[in-house]
Amino acid sequence: MNRFTGFVKKEFLHIIRDKRTMLILFGIPIVQILLFGYVLTNEIKDANIAILDHSKDETTARITNKLLSSGYFRLQSTIESEQEIEDLLRSGKARLVIIFESNFKKSMIRDGTARMQIIADASDPNTANMLVSYANAIVADFSRGLMVGQALPIKVDQQVRMLYNEELKGVFMFVPGTMALILMLLSAMMTSISIAREKEQGTMEILLVSPLRPVQIVLGKVTPYIGMAFINALVIIALGVLVFGMPVRGSLILLMAESFLFICMALSLGIFISTMANSQQVAMFISVFALLLPTMLLSGFIFPVENMHWILQGISHIIPAKYYIIIVKNIMIKGAGFLFVWKETLVLVGMMALLLLASVKKFKTRLE
């Protein structure tokens, strides 16, 4: 009987017989993607805005119309003076106030540029940031429309551009993040817990005394999770595409290959954690605090990295999920090929090599 297949079979038995594991494996990804998807799309719809139009000309009216017809904004009120702004924002009646300078259309025709100001209620910085970017993108789209047929470039002052997400769907940002989170959770946490369990039960000793090589033991343990994680990646992509209409503009094969790489990286991380943890609780604890939270908070999944304090930005560089999210966004939304993501790919490969090396080293010192 083949040693390795026997081992993998045993691992599958562990997974299938543990209801909690099954729930984590197949319940959480679906619930999470639906939850994130819907919560986010709802939140972004119909945000109240107020408009202070000093110009009241044809152009400002068109911009206002375009903003309000986007579905993201709803007109709360039209105001006449700057004094009203603070009150509106503080009371929460409006989340954005948009101000057009006087003679908007005239200066646009005369100088090719006109100024508008967006003031946001930043008590919820994440939403504020998103709303501002949406407004920016809509106005940018408007000014692009104006330029058609014009000899001189016409511009409305812009800060953020959202080139590749023209439909401005928040869920697009969450599909890559959720993929990173789920694959990380599954691969790293589940393997580290399952290896720690062998140690806790004392079965690891029996395995180490047996003719099985440590490499076989580790491979045997991670193989089922590679399969499971891969299925999950497919489920998440399918949900993103079918339920939320997310595009896969790039190559699906490249996307799956990169996902495979990320899974292997996460498994290495799980193996590394298991060299430190001797009990399931410790493995769980390390996974949650060293993996799950940073992956959610620092990878750009929920909070944009650019908005973070520089120390946190620094930490975000060592969060593997950050690179994976960049890769997935590039492939799915921008349709980028390998040439555009090779740097991030290299970082993941490097991280994986480093983790495996550290694990082997740690494993050897433990034997000595």
Partner 1 sequence: MNTQTDNKPIIAVRNLVKKFGSFTANDHLTFDVHKGEIFGFLGANGAGKTTAIRILCGLSAPTSGELTVAGFDVYKNADQIKKNIGYMSQKFSLYDDMTVWENIRFYAGIYRMRRKDIREKTADLLKKLDLEPVRDKLIAGLSVGWKQKLAFSIAIFHSPAIVFLDEPTGGVDPVTRRQFWEMIYEAASNGITVFVTTHYMDEAEYCDRVCIMTEGKIIAMNTPSKLKEEYDTDSMDEVFRKLARNVET
Tokens of 226: 């590679």
Please, which residue, 18 or 157, has the CB nearer to partner 1? 18
Interface mask toward partner 1 for 14-53; x: CB under 8 A? x--xx-----------------------------------
Contacts with partner 1: how many residues (CB under 8 A)?
24
What is d(CA 353, CA 340) in angstroms, rounded to the nearest whole number? 22
Q: Least CB distance from residue 213 to partner 1, whole Å?
A: 8
Restricting to residues 57-96, name those near partner 1 by CB under 8 A.
none
Residue type (1 letter), 263: I
Task: For 99, list phi and psi in degrees, rounded to 5.
Answer: -120, 125
Please identify which residue in 6, 27, 145, 153 interacts with partner 1, judged by CB under 8 A.
6
Please, which residue, 214 or 335, has the CB nearer to partner 1? 214
The answer to the question of residue 162 lying near partner 1 (CB under 8 A) is no
Q: What are the angstrom distances between the C-alpha of 236 and each of 30, 87, 146, 306, 331?
A: 7, 43, 39, 26, 15
Please, which residue, 8 or 305, has the CB nearer to partner 1? 8
Q: Which residues pair with 143 in a beta bridge?
A: none
Please, which residue, 149 or 211, has the CB nearer to partner 1? 211
Q: Least CB distance from residue 200 to partner 1, whole Å?
A: 9
Q: Least CB distance from residue 202 to partner 1, whole Å?
A: 3
Please, which residue, 207 or 308, has the CB nearer to partner 1? 207
Tokens of 230: 């891969």
Restricting to residues 348-367, name those near partner 1 by CB under 8 A.
367
Element (H, E) at 296: helix 293-298
Place of tokens 């433990």: 366
Please, which residue, 143 or 194, has the CB nearer to partner 1? 194
Please, which residue, 208 or 302, has the CB nearer to partner 1? 208
Q: Least CB distance from residue 198 to partner 1, whole Å?
A: 9
- Contact stretch for partner 1 (CB under 8 A) within 2-10, 132-140, 306-314, 351-359: 2-10
Q: Least CB distance from residue 89 to partner 1, whole Å?
A: 57
Please, which residue, 13 or 349, has the CB nearer to partner 1? 13
Which residue from 126, 58, 57 is spatially nearest to 95, judged by alpha carbons? 126
Which residue from 232, 240, 241 is spatially nearest to 266, judged by alpha carbons? 232
Restricting to residues 185-224, name those near partner 1 by CB under 8 A.
201-203, 205-212
**Cα 10 → chain centroid:** 34
Full strand arrangement of the beta sheet holding 73-79: 73-79, 47-53, 96-100, 116-120
Using CB under 8 A as the criterion, which residues of the chain lie in contact with partner 1 when the complex forms? Answer: 1-3, 6-7, 9-10, 13-14, 17-18, 201-203, 205-212, 367-368
